[in-house]
Amino acid sequence: MYQHPLLNRDKMSPQEALDILVEGNHRFTNNLSANKDMLSLVHMTKDRQHPFASVLSCSDSRAPVEILFDQALGDIFSVRLAGNIASDKCIGSLEFSAKYLGSKLMVVLGHTDCGAVKAACDNFREGHIGEIINLIRPAVRMETTTSEKRDSSNFSFVDKVCALNVQVQINEIIHSSDIIQDMLAAKQIGMVGGVYNLATGTVSFLPDTVML
Ligand SMILES: [Zn+2]
């Protein structure tokens, strides 16, 4: 069931926030989107916001988080950058959402067939795109199970790098942010990584990344 923003969110646990996202993605994949009166939500949220989750995801036009989690205005603090990379400014945005807006859960969401991940697999370096790829490169190095065809033509390799990239960006967030580290340690927030499947609409959360 859809819950209006600003209501009952102070007491929500990170696990409950994750449950809402899981249920929302289930509605999305079953074409059962909850009824949401967007205009009344505009009025309800006009003076303040209290998102229950923050999502760092890719800018890919096929992966808009509010739609794929079936959420509405005021629900998700959305940080999007190609390759869902945790640049300093992204981490600052996530810190703000947790510390000052009360978001309970941080999600780093990769997706299948990601152009930025594929560019990293192909060692692309051109222009400012190269700066994005530099932050994904550690995930390519971490993928040691593939010895041949280590490029974007190998779908299995790309999938593995995609999942590793989610882990790399989570590590970067935790490593660089005292604010987020402290809030995780105090269990004020949770963190989880996931991968959105462009072909099925399904989000798979990665068990190794769960911190609740
Ligand atoms: Zn992408």
User: Ligand 1 mean position to 108 CA, how many Å?
Assistant: 12
- Ligand 1 (single-atom ion) residues, CB below 5 Å: 58, 60, 114
| 149 phi-psi bin (left φ>0, alpha ψ -120 to 50, beta other) | left
Nearest Cα residue to 108 out of 138, 74, 72, 81: 81
Rounded to two decimals, what is the model's pTM? 0.96
User: Ligand 1 mean position to 192 CA, how many Å?
Assistant: 18
CA dist 178 and 46 (Å) reads: 31
pLDDT for the residue 13: 95
CA dist 8 and 61 (Å) reads: 32
Instruction: Outline where DSSP puts E strands in 8-101.
Output: 53-57, 76-80
CA angle 126, 94, 64 (to 5 degrees): 65
pLDDT for the residue 153: 98
Q: CA gyration radius for the chain? A: 17
User: Ligand 1 mean position to 127 CA, how many Å?
Assistant: 18
User: Ligand 1 mean position to 173 CA, how many Å?
Assistant: 18
DSSP 82: G
User: Ligand 1 mean position to 60 CA, how many Å?
Assistant: 5
Q: Where are the domains of the chain?
A: 14-114+169-209
pLDDT for the residue 85: 98
Long-range pairs for 31-34 at CB < 8 Å and ≥24 separation? 33/70, 34/1, 34/2, 34/70
Q: Which residue has the tokens 């390519």?
A: 140
> Going by CATH, does the domain composed of 14-114+169-209 fall within 3.10.20.30?
no
pLDDT 10s digit of each residue in the chain, 212 long? 556 666 678 889 999 999 999 999 999 999 998 888 899 999 989 999 999 999 999 999 999 999 999 999 999 999 999 999 999 999 999 999 999 999 999 999 999 999 999 999 999 999 999 999 999 999 999 999 999 999 999 999 999 999 999 999 999 999 999 999 999 999 999 999 999 999 999 999 999 999 99
User: Ligand 1 mean position to 26 CA, how many Å?
Assistant: 22
Q: What one-letter code names the amino acid at 126? A: E
* Interacting residues of 205 by C-beta distance below 8 A, sequence separation 6+: 18, 22, 192, 193, 194
User: Ligand 1 mean position to 44 CA, how many Å?
Assistant: 32
